[in-house]
Amino acid sequence: MKPVVTITYCVGCKWLLRAGWMAQELLQTFEDTLGGVTLAPAELPGTFKITVDGSLLWDRKRDGGFPEAKELKQRLRDVIAPERSLGHSDR
């Protein structure tokens, strides 16, 4: 079974577009590796978390803001396909 990423975002903060953009970036890069990306409205205000199969990959509060696409892709790759090269994103 392929891994699934969940992006939980604050509705009140209007972070749906950011979550959607990050989902698109991950799906485009890992289209053959991911089982999907789910967008989930958060219960708590200010939440922006990204998990892969339930394991925390990024938390806006813990990690100090939002991830750059490059760093998010590297973190996801390290979990689901550590042998994979990300080309220019690895530099």
Tell me: the pLDDT tens digits for 30-85? 999 999 999 999 999 999 999 999 999 999 999 999 999 999 999 999 999 999 88
Q: How many other C-beta atoms lie within 10 A of the C-beta of residue 49?
A: 20
pTM above 0.95, yes or no: no
CATH assignment at residue 56: 3.40.30.10
Q: Does residue 36 belong to any structural domain of this protein?
A: yes
47 inside domain: yes
Question: Considering its fold, how many domains does the chain have in total?
Answer: 1
The closest of 57, 67, 52, 53 to 19, measured between CA atoms, is 67
Residue 91 included in any domain: no
